[in-house]
A and B are shown apart, each in its own frame.
Chain A
Amino acid sequence: SQTIHQWPATLVQPVGSPLSLECTVEGTSNPNLYWYRQAAGRGLQLLFYSVGIGQISSEVPQNLSASRPQDRQFILSSKKLLLSDSGFYLCAWKSRDVLNSPLHFGNGTRLTVT
């Protein structure tokens, strides 16, 4: 069966510090991968998606970047965090090979920038 792992679960970082959140998927190959952010009262916002190694598409201009160094690994990064980067970050995957496959989410990372 497929599983998705995100870490860390919680993170408190000072303004101006770097960020690296990691997400890995097991039990599937060639998935589409996504980073969403959920801010209080604002719903889920798609930040990045990837359809293959090294292929990253950004949905909104921001202080963050994403990378996909391996087929089942997706990393969210920032060189210098802003207060507005605080939020709940969710990684998700879906099968590219199965028509109408659902989106599956990790447990998320709660990021607080102080």
Chain B
Amino acid sequence: KQEVTQIPAALSVPEGENLVLNCSFTDSAIYNLQWFRQDPGKGLTSLLLIQSSQREQTSGRLNASLDKSSGRSTLYIAASQPGDSATYLCAVRVSNAGGTSYGKLTFGQGTILTVHP
């Protein structure tokens, strides 16, 4: 059974710092990995999706890497801003040769990020 772990559980940094959020998964047979952002009381916003054949994806100040063989992904946030404060979740889609995973994702517990001015 796939398990996803995110470290740290919470992180507080001053504005302007570069930071790294970590995600690990137990079953390396994944189809893709997705990073989400969740603001308090809101739904999840998709940030980046990395396919299993890719090593990284970038969007603005965000960069996500994937090392499938070691079961790890990192989300790098450059020059953090108070508006980046949110919970960040990673989720993996398990690979299924028969194509019957139906896009189901297994989520980590999230990292609560606070960027203070």
Contact = CB atoms under 8 A, between A and B. Distances in A.
A107 interface: yes
Contacts of A100: 31-32, 49, 51
Contacts, number: 54
Contacts of A96: 103
Interface residues of B, number: 22
B104 A49 contact: yes
Contacts of B91: 44, 103
A102 interface: yes
Given A90-B44, A108-B41, 13 more contacts: A32-B102, A41-B109, A43-B89, A43-B107, A43-B109, A49-B102, A90-B43, A100-B49, A103-B46, A105-B43, A105-B46, A107-B43, A110-B41
Contacts of A44: 89, 91, 107
Chain A, interface size category, equals 20 to 34
Interface string B18-41: 000000000000011010100001
Given A102-B34, A107-B42, A108-B42, A46 B103 contact: no
Q: Which 5 pairs between the two chains have the least Cβ-Cβ distance?
A: A105-B43, A105-B44, A44-B107, A102-B46, A107-B43
